[in-house]
Structure 1
Amino acid sequence: MMRNYSLLFLLFTIISFSSIGKDTYFRGFYNGENVFVRNPYLGQGAGFCIEAIYLNGQLLVKNPDVSAYQIDMQGLEVDSRVVIRIVHDDSCEPELTNPEVIKDLLEFNWLKFYVDENEIIWITTKESKEGFYIVEKQIDNEWMILDTVKTKGGIFINQHSVEADHSFGENLYRVQYHDLKLPVKYSETFNYKSDKREITYAITDDWMIEFSEEVSFWLYNANSRIIKRGKDVTCDIQKLPKGRYMLKYDGKEVYFDKE
């Protein structure tokens, strides 16, 4: 009788070990994108390869019956550590179809860029401590500098903003990132449509340009060189020599002669 129990125990042990799956781990960092797992089909009656998927120790799914499974990681903080554990059949190997999205990004990366009524805002990761940004606005198909911003540095997320300078109608903005160790990197462009009232100007008898409200402006000479730029309600042109000038402001080009 004892011998029969021993044989049954041995048979149970063999069956149990033969059904134990294999663990495969993928490690990295969350960089804002979900991961897709390839789940091979083992054939009729055997089903799919994967038995369970865990994200940072938490069970996500058991026995997914799909050939590709998306791991939703949007609840994680960007730059947080990711450990994906996949339990699967011994006869197969699951794969990540986009393993690059959890690789530790060692270089600067744009995360978000947007504009509202008051601010131009951008969010980045892994910026240099010695870098800087140039904020630009497109005026008459030419990119004009609005402001410069120093980087904060560090491997994690940084947010920057400057005051917006909208004109009536369409406003196209972008930001440049400068780092001595990398080529210049440009953000996406963002088009913001503003319904703010039109800004007017007048030139006084004592050669002052007066605007109806504060605005960014650029003053060009006859050779198309910028001789003055600023953001104000006035522009003093008393000391400029006689000649023809062009004033750019609020999306307009205005020509005038100084006598």
Structure 2
Amino acid sequence: MTNLQNYTATTVGRRLNSLFLFAMKNLLFLAMLCVMGASYAQILSLSGNYEGMNLFVSNPIKSDGYGYCIDKVLVNGNILPASIQTEHFEIDLRLFQLKKGDEVFVELEHGEGCTPSFVNPEVLLPFSTFEITAISATSDGKITWSTKNESGKLAFDVEQYKWNRWVAAAEVLGKGQKTTNSYSIDIIPTSGENTIRVSQTDNTGIKRSSKSITFTSKSKSLTLSPVKVKTAVYFKAEQVATKTKYEVYDAFGNLLKKGYADHIDCSDLLSGIYLVNFDNKTEKIIKY
């Protein structure tokens, strides 16, 4: 090989190495940009169920003053096909062929230094629309009811009327179907006549209740003793220790204890007068 050939081969090799190094540097720079971009991307998300209403979004200016905060909106993984470069915009959920009750997951991809917000996130929460078609109770406290026209999976509260107010006795998650929904649950009845109802409270904070029904239980009436107590009071039915739900209030109306047992430990109570709710009664005790 001549000197000219050696020089040419060496020069070509050097140029190829230079091109390779240049390409690798560019790829490394692009990769760094991608990582930096990913690190600056922020996600604000919201999940719920479609209830026939659209979401509204507050979209502030970016921290550098150029453009708006949100770069992309995804609904169940699909890009929102609408303009988002404005201070406030609507996410029209109808664009995604959703049916009432369908699950919805919304993501707002935005930059650092600014925080967008959902104006009305409650529209993805279910509303209480149930109608009771039947409700009944057995003497041992089994409550059964049926509904129609539910619009979302909201909890039903089974409530007992005792101690001069409605008290939560059990909770059942609603099925949320428009067609017939059937439910059944056992509660702890008080002695004698029991009055119960079924209620729901949605995101508006308004409670909707069924009509109340009554049943007579076979539970025996309870007594509390002693009235003057040092360490504990006991619940008995015909001299037999019996569990009951109870509450203990001080003279100022503060709830101090609650539970389900056949006695109450009073050793940690200060001396004074207390009111005890148990069974379907309220009685006074004196701690000394």
| Cα deviation 1:44-63 (Å, max 9, x = unaligned) | xxxxxxxxxxxxxxxxxxxx
Identity %: 23
Aligned residue number for residue 272 of structure 2: 243
Which of 200, 203, 215 matches 1:180? 203
Q: Is the 8 A contact 1:128 1:151 kept in 2?
A: no
Aligned residue number for residue 281 of structure 2: 252
| Cα deviation 1:5-29 (Å, max 9, x = unaligned) | xxxxxxxxxxxxxxxxxxxxxxxxx
Aligned residue number for residue 135 of structure 1: 158
Give the Å deviation of 1:198: 1.7
User: How many angstroms apart in 1 are the aligned matches of 2:186 and 2:270?
Assistant: 33
Runs of 4+ in 1 over 6 A off after TM superposition: none
3-state SS, counterpart of residue 153 of structure 1: coil
Aligned residue number for residue 125 of structure 1: 148
User: How many angstroms apart in 2 are the aligned matches of 1:202 and 1:237?
Assistant: 12
User: How many angstroms apart in 1 are the aligned matches of 2:149 and 2:209?
Assistant: 15
Q: How does 1:183-202 map to 2 (within 5 A)?
A: 183-202=206-225
1:208 and 2:229 correspond: no
User: How many angstroms apart in 2 are the aligned matches of 1:224 and 1:240?
Assistant: 15
Aligned residue number for residue 108 of structure 1: 130
User: How many angstroms apart in 1 are the aligned matches of 2:216 and 2:164?
Assistant: 17
Give the Å deviation of 1:144: 1.9
Q: Is the 8 A contact 2:193 2:216 kept in 1?
A: yes
Query: 1:209 is aligned with what amino acid?
Result: V
Q: Is the 8 A contact 1:172 1:191 kept in 2?
A: yes
Q: Which runs of 5+ in 2 are unaligned?
A: 1-127, 236-240
Query: 2:195 is aligned with what amino acid?
Result: L
Aligned residue number for residue 165 of structure 1: 188
User: How many angstroms apart in 2 are the aligned matches of 1:123 and 1:182?
Assistant: 23
1:148 and 2:148 correspond: no
Which of 200, 219, 226 matches 2:255? 226
User: How many angstroms apart in 1 are the aligned matches of 2:145 and 2:190?
Assistant: 20
Aligned residue number for residue 100 of structure 2: none
User: How many angstroms apart in 2 are the aligned matches of 1:241 and 1:122?
Assistant: 45
Q: Is the 8 A contact 2:229 2:285 kept in 1?
A: no
User: How many angstroms apart in 2 are the aligned matches of 1:135 and 1:108?
Assistant: 14
Give the Å deviation of 1:158: 2.1
Aligned residue number for residue 77 of structure 2: none
| Cα deviation 1:31-55 (Å, max 9, x = unaligned) | xxxxxxxxxxxxxxxxxxxxxxxxx
Q: Is the 8 A contact 2:244 2:261 kept in 1?
A: yes
Question: CA, structure 1 residues 182+126, in 2 after alignment: closer, same or farther (shift >3 Å)?
Answer: farther
3-state SS, counterpart of residue 156 of structure 1: coil
Give the Å deviation of 1:222: 0.6
User: How many angstroms apart in 1 are the aligned matches of 2:205 and 2:130?
Assistant: 9
Q: Is the 8 A contact 1:117 1:164 kept in 2?
A: no
Give the Å deviation of 1:188: 0.8
Aligned-residue Cα RMSD (Å) equals 2.6
User: How many angstroms apart in 2 are the aligned matches of 1:120 and 1:132?
Assistant: 15
TM-score where L is the length of structure 1: 0.52
Query: 1:258 is aligned with what amino acid?
Result: K
User: How many angstroms apart in 1 are the aligned matches of 2:173 and 2:165?
Assistant: 24
Query: 1:131 is aligned with what amino acid?
Result: L
Query: 2:168 is aligned with what amino acid?
Result: I
3-state SS, counterpart of residue 171 of structure 1: strand
Question: CA, structure 1 residues 189+243, in 2 after alignment: closer, same or farther (shift >3 Å)?
Answer: same
User: How many angstroms apart in 1 are the aligned matches of 2:155 and 2:272?
Assistant: 37
User: How many angstroms apart in 1 are the aligned matches of 2:151 and 2:259?
Assistant: 29
Answer 1 or 2: which has greater helix percent.
Answer: 2
Answer 1 or 2: which has greater strand percent.
Answer: 1
3-state SS, counterpart of residue 168 of structure 1: coil
Give the Å deviation of 1:181: 6.0
The alignment covers a number of residue pairs equal to 154
3-state SS, counterpart of residue 228 of structure 1: strand
Q: Which runs of 5+ in 1 are unaligned?
A: 1-105
